[in-house]
Amino acid sequence: MRVPITDIVDQPGASRSLRDAVDADAFGTDPWGTADGALVDPVVLDLHLDSVVDGILVRGTLGFTLDLPCGRCLVTQRRSHEVHVVELFIDPAKREDDADDEPGYDLLDAATAIDLSTMVRDALLLGLPLRILCREDCQGLCPTCGTDRNVTDCGHADRDPVDPRWSALADLDLPPD
């Protein structure tokens, strides 16, 4: 997603807000890593673009809506997440020669635009929750029969599942010592 910056670039102190709701496609067609298929349109941008001596500082929040499975019962949950970002987009002409590995992104098109795609993707992958629960006391799936215990009481809850490798021992008629 390219954003023109000609109105503020090279004017340190100038700033502009960028509020928009855009489809995930706007950030490119590469897979979204673990969020691929989970991301629900739109991505909500609430950003400030500040002109600084070296380029443009982008800060604010990104709003993502994701369909992710509950970590216990696997039922899909739709949740919204906000990720904070602060990223410097540097004018390549002002990068110091010995600082090629400086973190951050470059201004593009002769310092007239920035591309938010990589920043948005990185922010989502870093900010993505590793595990969600549909509710704190989700009972999850029964380890014995696979039933969703939030929906049906299968009656296995009181017993530990028997490891099938040992179940044959329970049937042996062992002589007493």
Our finding on whether 128 is near Zn ion (CB under 5 A) is no
Q: How far is the CB of 19 from Zn ion (least distance, A)?
A: 34
Of 43, 68, 72, 115, which one interacts with Zn ion (CB under 5 A)? 72
Residues 6+ apart with CB under 8 A from 25: none
Of 8, 83, 132, 138, which one interacts with Zn ion (CB under 5 A)? 138
Our finding on whether 117 is near Zn ion (CB under 5 A) is no
C-alpha angle 148/68/153, rounded to 5°? 10
Select the span of 68-76, 85-93, 121-129, 159-167 touching Zn ion (CB under 5 A): 68-76
Residues 41 to 60: which contact Zn ion by CB under 5 A? none
Select the span of 46-54, 87-95, 114-122, 132-140 touching Zn ion (CB under 5 A): 132-140
Residue with tokens 């067609």: 29
Select the span of 32-40, 92-100, 114-122, 136-144 touching Zn ion (CB under 5 A): 136-144
Residues 73 to 92: which contact Zn ion by CB under 5 A? 73
- One-letter identity of residue 152: T
Nearer to Zn ion, 56 or 70 (CB): 70
Our finding on whether 70 is near Zn ion (CB under 5 A) is yes
Our finding on whether 145 is near Zn ion (CB under 5 A) is yes
Hey, CA dihedral for 7, 11, 17, 18, is it positive or negative? Answer: positive
Residue 21 token pair: 């709701």
* Element spanning 93, H or E: none
- One-letter identity of residue 127: G
Q: Which residues bind Zn ion (CB under 5 A)?
A: 70, 72-73, 134, 138, 142, 144-145, 147, 154, 156
